[in-house]
């Protein structure tokens, strides 16, 4: 198992994350489809890991996929780790923040994107930082 640069005990994570965020990010849960606050969010900026604030996804890579979760066609270089996930009778690729190991969601093959990938992410795993507009 990988040792992440940011490591906290279960009790420390529970102090900084809501119960739902902890369930998703530390216990590899998922939120109900179409329920996350970033599913239909398309402002200009960057999405960061809710746990450690590492930048993960540029808003320019976000697209409306109709899958029920925020979807991106790519991630910021080196921001994610990938692990095989064989749960729920499926073969999937789990995506985790490379800095703290927080579960983000899964990446799937998707021919509708330039990258041929769809990063399907839980809104509870991310936070949006708007682009600063200069006058």
Which residues are marked as active site?
120
For the chain, what percentages of helix, strand and coil (3-state, to nearest 5) are there? 15, 30, 50
| Number of Cα atoms under 13 Å in the Cβ half of residue 29 | 14
Q: In the 8-state DSSP scheme, what is residue 104?
A: E
**In Å, how far are 2, 43, 77, 126 from 16, measured between CA atoms?**
22, 26, 26, 14
The token duo for 9 is 């005990």
The rounded distance, in Å, linking the Cα atoms of 135 and 126 is 28
């Amino acid at each position: 198992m990988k040792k992440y640069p940011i490591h906290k005990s279960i009790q420390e994570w529970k102090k900084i994350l809501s119960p739902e965020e902890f369930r998703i990010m530390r216990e590899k849960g998922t939120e109900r489809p179409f329920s996350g606050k970033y599913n239909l969010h398309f402002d200009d900026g960057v999405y960061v890991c809710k746990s450690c604030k590492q930048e993960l996804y540029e808003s320019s890579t976000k697209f409306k996929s109709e899958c029920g979760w925020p979807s991106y066609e790519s991630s910021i270089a080196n921001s994610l780790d990938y692990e095989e996930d064989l749960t729920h009778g499926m073969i999937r690729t789990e995506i985790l923040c490379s800095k703290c190991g927080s579960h983000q969601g899964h990446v799937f093959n998707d021919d509708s994107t330039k990258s041929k990938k769809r990063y399907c992410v839980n809104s509870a795993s991310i936070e949006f930082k708007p682009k600063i507009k200069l006058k």
